[in-house]
Amino acid sequence: MRMMMRLLALLVMWAILTEAQGQQPLKLAAWNIQRLGTSKMSKNDIVNCLVKVIRRYDVLVVMETVDKSLTVPGQLHNELNNGLNPTDTYMYDSSSRMGITTYQEQYVFYWKPSRVKWVQSYTFNDLGNQFTYDPFGAVFIVNSGKNTLKFGMIAIHVSPKKAVKEIDALVDVYSDFKQKTGVDDVIIAGDFNAGGSYVSNKDWVDIRLRTDPKFTWLIPDNVGTTTTGSNAPYDRIVVAGKGIYNALNKNSAGPYDFKNYCGITNLVDLKHVSDHYPVEVSMQ
């Protein structure tokens, strides 16, 4: 009888823990990892920090992967999954190399299939060269027992010299994404270079992504997102669609300072990891 009571207690505890895990917010992020290539991936201390930070998220998109051999996305994926339980592992999907000059970059999505289902990828067909690095996105379905939400996530690395025009043109990207995927609940996230000398206060009136009320900016203009010590609000998260707006915890949006998390004690080592913090938001 005593053994049965203990077994029953264990089952109850397991059920409570399982339910609690199922209610954990979904964490999403975008991170410009400065010049992520084979050189950076050869430095164990930096890789350990990257892995530790990325594992905080259920969905994360990386910008500025610059490896010409196309091996770095898979290498980082292997490092992410090393030692994880099968239920916690990640999958990934990468764009082609983007860029209108000899310098090119990739976007790479990493996600946990235990938390979201990947549906399809998306690349903006930029015939007019509006963007230096064409926006790349994905459609996901949240794995939930009650309410499911299909949503899109579009990544962008805006060229500093064309910041105003490229941010404005993201409205066209949203329209194209909605037409091609049928999804209007969308997160647009990445390095917008939306501040400093690239975008001034007087520029906002000419940026449809800011003036169109269907878009909500979750990171204010006074929040710095770089590791350089400046207050430049370069990295942003913008959402459109009632479903995703209601599902997100808007107060959770912001940059994540990983310095203490990675045991970094000085600004130089911090910048060796990246000159940007990831920007994150959680979903209920």
Q: What is each CA distance from 195 to 84, 215, 230, in whole angstroms?
A: 38, 18, 11
Structure-block tokens of residue 34: 């400065």
Closest to 209 in 3D by CA, of 254, 170, 249 = 170
Secondary structure class of 255 (helix, strand, coil): strand
Cα(154)–Cα(156) distance, rounded to whole angstroms? 7
Q: Which of 64, 77, 157, 166 is catalytic?
A: 157
Q: Is 157 one of the annotated active-site residues of the chain?
A: yes
Cα(218)–Cα(53) distance, rounded to whole angstroms? 21
**CB atoms < 10 A from the CB of 91, how many?**
14
Structure-block tokens of residue 83: 């030692």
Burial code (b: 16+ CB inside 10 Å, e: under 16) for 39-73 equals ebbeeeebbebbbebbbebbbbbbbbbbbeeeebb
Q: Which of 105, 166, 276, 280 is catalytic?
A: 105
Distance of CA 131 to the CA centre of its chain: 19
Q: Is 166 one of the annotated active-site residues of the chain?
A: no
**CB atoms < 10 A from the CB of 5, how many?**
9
Contact 154, 177 (CB under 8 A): yes
**Beta strands in 98-255, from DSSP E residues, in sequence order:** 106-111, 116-123, 136-142, 150-157, 186-191, 215-217, 235-240, 248-255
Could you list the active site residues?
Answer: 105, 157
